[in-house]
Structure 1
Amino acid sequence: MYRVWNFITNYSLLLILGALIALVWANTNPDSYHHFVEFVIWDHAPIGHYHDGHRTLTLHYLVNDVLMAFFFAIAAKEVWEAVILKNGSLRGKKAATPLFATAGGMIGPIAVYLGLALALGSETYDAVKNGWAIPTATDIAFSYLVGRMVFGAGHPAVRFLLLLAIADDAAGLIILAIFYPSGELAPEWLLLSLGAAIAVYLLFNWLPRRMDRGNQARPNSTFMRKKLGFWPYLIAACASWYGFQEAGIHPALGLLPIVPTIPHADRAFGIFSEAEQYLSDLLNHIEHALKHPVEVVLFFFGLLNAGVEFSAIAAPTWLVLAGLVVGKPIGVLLFGVVGAHILKLGLPQGMRTVDLFVIGCVSAIGFTVSLFVASVAFDAGPVQDAAKMGALFSFGAAVLSIVVGKLTRVQKQEF
């Protein structure tokens, strides 16, 4: 439990603190809050929001589009290891049913969100339809913590939940890249990102290992690690980020092509494993080095994005919330049943079918990524603010999960 709480402390408590400060500030002095959010750092800058023929770097852009790239890089690292490593959690039959449940946990919220929006009339539907992806997100840290509270640390449903959350993160990154461009698309700029990734992989990863074949001392790889470290990958990351910005794809995803190029261990113990800290490969070293900076980034993310006036509560608030707390549990249950029973993929030993519904309730905690998607799905204004409030209210899914766990008689299992 210590490892889980340590992860929550590292990556979520400062985020929540920033969000709480933002809520108080926005509801007591909204003018000064919005002036702070849109503070101009550099006008006519090489990076920033593009308007009137030039770019302007604001504090909001610096945090959401530049610094949050490190947060998404850490998420991508966990997804990459889960997929590529021999013992990765998203490889083989063991991941099949969780992947089906993940699909349901995304399709269900979308159906509920858009269905209710359509029922409210064409005017409401047209205003909110672009926010369909907001309720698909799962906050991996808090969902995992609540899952352990509901099921106990040793219950197989906790492992199932973690697989679902990792797959959900992967799907969320794809959705952001494809459906929420930051400007007019210029895909030729992605060649810069691709070229940076290929170059840094060949020159600083593949070539040294190739030269070290048959030599257990691995002098070339050791030289690259000790003398150059992360610097070649940071330079490539900057080039890739710029390519994403110019391509019109959200630049917060700009580091994703570089993550797979970094030398990594041939095994992973999992995002919440105590043993993870003892891995000394460069990829894990970079993740550990980013830990404290990302804490600060998440604080400012919460501060700059959660400042919503309570008067902004409106239809989008309830649509997002309904998508999460209604669509997630139903979608996870239905698709999980299809995978486990109709396709005969099965459930982990000791896990009941009804536990799928409880897992769906736990995964309805959207928060971090839901806030992020809301900030890119809508222009600043009442619709965006109302949608963000729905993301904040999704914390209520924690209470719902505990209640549903009691009603379905979940038997907690500790190690």
Structure 2
Amino acid sequence: MYRVWTFLTDYSLLLIIGALLALVWANTDPHSYHHFVEYPLFFNDLVGADYAYWKKVYGEGYDTFDAGGASMVVSMHYLVNDMLMAFFFAIAAKEVWEAVILKNGSLRGKKAATPLFATLGGMMGPITIYLGLAYVMGSTTFDAVANGWAIPTATDIAFSYLVGRLVFGAGHPAVRFLLLLAIADDAAGLIILAIFYPSGDLALEWLLVSVFAAVVVFFLANWLPRRMDRHNQSRPNSTWVREKLGFWPYAIAAVFSWYGFAASGLHPSLGLLPIVPTIPHADRAFGIFSAAERYLTDLLNQIEHALKRPVEVVLFFFGLLNAGVEFSSIGDATWLVLAGLLIGKPVGILIMGWVAAKPLGLGIPEGMRIVDLVVIGCVAAIGFTVSLFFAAAAFDPGPTQDAAKMGALFSFAAAIISIIAGRLLRVEKQDT
């Protein structure tokens, strides 16, 4: 119990508090909560939500703010979901990158393919369950909810990662497996969002900005100094770059990369991912926020630990701004989304993960069992944030959209199911 409490206080307590406050606020004064979530911080013509869209979602009272003719709005919701959460996803990407690239990484080589197969199963399973049950419920229900088929395909990286750590322990290879699956799931989900639920025209050429930023910073701040020091063991150039410039070249590159994602039409919260592999890293990984990594001098671990406290605060606001849904919204779409997530996710991940690991011979990370895929599937059934995005994109504001959002919110039940499944399937926690 002490370890559980330590985990909660160190990593997820602020997130849980934010979500609970959102639920209470939205069910006692939904008008003020909604206006808080969409409160405009500043208007501009460069970044943010489209002004016409913001005006619609803010609703009555939007004209009390002077936009000055600006075409975009940075609201509280946009600031947290689209900008600040990029730091959390960057930390998650750091763990996956180390698991793939380092000599002792649990996802090296062909074993990295198994989580991707599991990701495919974790998307096809929910779609099948959602549409199948909707069809059984009758044509009226099917016609009303069919456009929301993508809602239960999502996996919330933040909550899933936190629950995964609680169930498996920080050092279990299943946590890195889950991270790769969740990131791949959300990446695929955001492509689905852009293709099937477009809010505007895609401009994928803007992704070249992200690629260019990553290539330039890797060449100038990483590869070139090491190349210049290749015959000098004192490494003066690499040392100068590390001590004098620090993280700043990568921070500048991150800004350009984030903007490239934002301008491309893809979700900008993943905009820092191309920069993570360019940062100098250690020779081995000890696990995210591991105490042992505090003694490593590589820049990647230094950045990760510098972001620890700020990201905890970001997670609080993430919960506060996304979990506020009224309980009166429950409907058919609620149960369809839940069934897709709680049944389709575990079944799909188990089937496709097994196919990849056994018949295809791709294997799974050392220290994992096939049966662990069931627990991973239960953890991955926490849809939350991307499911909420899908619900808002799939349906016009109204009862069906609200019911679908309730399904995304109730997917938190997967956390309890995951803990129970972990006990029943005798998961051995690995904290280091």
TM range, smaller chain:
0.7 to 0.9
Name the counterpart of 1:44.
Answer: 44
Give the stretch that moved more between structures: 190-199 or 18-27. 190-199
Name the counterpart of 2:184.
Answer: 171
Task: For 2:256 and 2:370, locate their aligned partners in 1 and report how far apart those are by CA, in whole Å.
Answer: 47
Report the alpha carbon displacement of residue 377 of structure 1 after superposing the two structures with TM: 6.1
Name the counterpart of 2:65.
Answer: none
Q: Secondary structure of 1:267's match?
A: coil
Q: Structure 1 residues 10, 389: closer, same or farther in 2, change over 3 A?
A: farther
Q: 1:184 aligns with which of 187, 192, 201?
A: 201
TM-score (norm 2): 0.82
Report the alpha carbon displacement of residue 78 of structure 1 after superposing the two structures with TM: 1.5
Q: Is residue 133 of structure 2 the alignment partner of residue 133 of structure 1?
A: no
Report the alpha carbon displacement of residue 135 of structure 1 after superposing the two structures with TM: 5.5
| C-alpha contact (below 8 Å) 2:160/2:380 kept by paired residues | yes
Report the alpha carbon displacement of residue 286 of structure 1 after superposing the two structures with TM: 0.9
Name the counterpart of 1:214.
Answer: 231
| C-alpha contact (below 8 Å) 1:317/1:389 kept by paired residues | yes
Q: 1:143 aligns with which of 154, 164, 169?
A: 164
RMSD between aligned residues: 3.2
Q: 1:342 aligns with which of 359, 375, 386?
A: 359
Report the alpha carbon displacement of residue 7 of structure 1 after superposing the two structures with TM: 5.4
Aligned residue identity for 2:103: K
Task: For 2:343 and 2:418, locate their aligned partners in 1 and report how far apart those are by CA, in whole Å.
Answer: 12
| C-alpha contact (below 8 Å) 2:151/2:387 kept by paired residues | no
User: Residues 268-287 of structure 1 correspond to what in structure 2 (within 5 A)?
Assistant: 268-271=285-288, 273-287=290-304
| C-alpha contact (below 8 Å) 1:146/1:398 kept by paired residues | no
Report the alpha carbon displacement of residue 160 of structure 1 after superposing the two structures with TM: 5.2
Report the alpha carbon displacement of residue 29 of structure 1 after superposing the two structures with TM: 0.4
| C-alpha contact (below 8 Å) 1:109/1:327 kept by paired residues | yes
Task: For 1:73 and 1:247, locate their aligned partners in 2 and report how far apart those are by CA, in whole Å.
Answer: 19
Name the counterpart of 2:35.
Answer: 35
Q: Is residue 174 of structure 2 the alignment partner of residue 161 of structure 1?
A: yes
Give the stretch that moved more between structures: 17-26 or 256-265. 256-265
Report the alpha carbon displacement of residue 190 of structure 1 after superposing the two structures with TM: 2.0
Give the stretch that moved more between structures: 347-356 or 221-230. 347-356
Report the alpha carbon displacement of residue 381 of structure 1 after superposing the two structures with TM: 5.3
Q: Is residue 19 of structure 2 the alignment partner of residue 19 of structure 1?
A: yes
Structure 1: runs of 5 or more not aligned: none
Q: Structure 1 residues 202, 351: closer, same or farther in 2, change over 3 A?
A: closer
Aligned residue identity for 1:291: K
Q: Structure 1 residues 414, 239: closer, same or farther in 2, change over 3 A?
A: closer
Structure 2: runs of 5 or more not aligned: 53-69
Deviations 1:166-198 (A, max 9, x none): 221231242144223363212222222222211
Name the counterpart of 1:112.
Answer: 129
Q: Structure 1 residues 126, 278: closer, same or farther in 2, change over 3 A?
A: same
Identity %: 63
Give the stretch that moved more between structures: 186-195 or 66-75. 186-195
The count of residues paired between Structure 1 and Structure 2 equals 406
